[in-house]
Structure 1
Amino acid sequence: MSRRARAEQPRGPGGDDAAGRVLTLPNLISFVRLLGVPLFLWLFLVVEADVAAIVVLAIGGTSDWVDGWIARRLGQVSRLGELLDPLADRLYILATLLAFTAREVVPWPFTAALLARELLLLGSLAVLRRHGYGPPPVHYVGKTATFLLLAAFPVLLLAAATTSVTATTAAAIGWGLAWWGLVLYWVAGAMYVVQAARLVRAARRGVAA
């Protein structure tokens, strides 16, 4: 079996049939999460309905955990789901960051730090693809970082939309979550780069042999 075939081979409970499914409940949740991205941008940037935008962000962050739990619980882990879930996570994070930066909810250095990590990961994925490997499996550190960021965003928006004690408390909680999320996001990125480097070295040794 080629490296590409091994990298793209379906995984998860239920064997090949489960891994190849498209119409599953977890995938449906992921599709709905994707639709939530443009809805959030419209609410936050066009009509400036901050309360509704907070609700959309909160649902998007919560459903990130729900779809994975349902997939494992029902044995509906699929290759499509493994691709959709991190895609939805990244779109939520990037869309929220750009929207928050545009309305000055978060400073641009914070946004730049997260975008730099995404560029690093895209470069690693391009290198892996060139050597016949698919995307690496999502690490729990990366999932934890994503959870912290998705939890921080609605809290930061709440801080920006309110005043007095509520705003101060929400800002403290939100930025605590956000900075921990940023640190773990970079830790996960470094782990992916190390994993990619090992795979590339192994591929080159195989060619040389």
Structure 2
Amino acid sequence: MSTADPTLDSRVPGEPEGVFDRVWTVPNAFTLVRLLCLPLFLYLLFGADNRAGAAWLLAGLGSTDWVDGYIARRFDQGSEFGKIFDPTVDRLFFFVAVIAIIVDGSIPIWFAVAVLVRELLVGGAIAVGVLFLHMQRFGVTWLGKCATFLLMGAVPSFLIGSTDVWEAPFFAVLAWAFGVPGLVLSYWTGIAYIPLIRSGLAAGRASTSTGTDDR
């Protein structure tokens, strides 16, 4: 039995869902709360000079990345807007966090640049494909999720490892233990996404030519 709120969906029955048909859902609200934590992260890091607090907030936000997706699936509140909003917020937070920690000087420059370059290449290719080339979206692979998990553990660990708290040495080691395999795996999955992107482009072109593109 579906638990979706029919008041959130004003479409005519049978009409394809548009991007803005169901914006105000619980998972989208949860994603919005995570986005609003971004200024708090920057304040803790630069305004309050609280590296440990900023790192723990970042770790908490990274560890709750799955919650909005779970809510959407469990309560049938998935939406076209959410499919775009959630990964956009994730990437925005990741980019801002890594760049902020570069400015703070708590992460090796080469590692941070390697992470950002991969995200720009893969994320940029997917964004261009979906927005301008009618590419059909595809889900993140299991290995891609593992890479993200490792990197989201490594980045705040670098930050905590640069503080003078008692657990700093442990997190300094943990940062590399998560960071190296996470970086390697992220590039491996980036290469593995190439055939998925090509298939998505081909499917998008086919649906457009037959007039069945329902994005």
The TM-score by the shorter chain falls in which range?
A: 0.7 to 0.9
* Structure 2 counterparts to residues 94-109 of structure 1, below 5 A: 94-109=95-110
SS in 2 for 1:36: helix
1:101-180 superposed matches below 5 A? 101-121=102-122, 122-127=124-129, 129-163=131-165, 166-180=167-181
Partners of 2:41 and 2:54 within 8 A in 1 = yes
Confirm or deny: 8 A CA contact 1:37 1:91 kept in the other structure: no
Q: How many residues align structurally?
A: 190
Q: TM (normalized to structure 2)?
A: 0.76
In the alignment, what sits opposite 1:4?
none
Q: Name the counterpart of 2:51.
A: 50
Per residue, is there more helix in 1 or in 2? 1
Q: CA deviation at 1:103?
A: 1.6
The CA RMSD measured in Å over matched residues stands at 2.7
Task: Please give the secondary structure, in 1, of the residue aligned with 2:22.
Answer: coil
8 A Cα contact 2:135 2:202, kept in partner: no
Structure 1 counterpart SS, 2:162: helix
Secondary structure of the 2:105 match is coil
Residue in structure 2 matched with residue 37 of structure 1 by the alignment:
38
Q: Is the 8 A contact 1:128 1:196 kept in 2?
A: no
Q: How does the TM-score come out when normalised to structure 1?
A: 0.77
Paired residue type of 1:50 = R
SS at match of 1:83: helix
CA distance in 2, matches of 1:179, 1:44: 24
C-alpha offsets along residues 55-85 of structure 1, whole Å, 9 cap, x if unaligned?
3212211220221222222122222221122
Q: Does 1:66 align with 2:70?
A: no
Which residues of structure 2 form unaligned runs of 5+?
Answer: 1-14, 210-215
Q: Which amino acid aligns with 1:90?
A: R
> Does residue 193 of structure 1 match 2:194?
yes
Is 1:89 matched with 2:52? no
Amino acid at match of 1:153: V
- 1:134 Cα shift? 4.6
- State the secondary structure of the residue aligned to 1:161: coil
Partner of 1:8: none
Amino acid in the other structure paired with 2:190: G
Structure 1: state its 5+ residue gaps.
Answer: 1-14
Counterparts of 1:96 and 1:90, CA distance in 2: 10
Check the 8 A contact 1:152/1:177 in 2, yes or no.
Answer: yes
Q: Which moved more, 1:150-159 or 1:99-108?
A: 150-159
Report the Cα distance in structure 1 between the residues aligned to 2:99 and 2:78, rounded to whole angstroms: 31
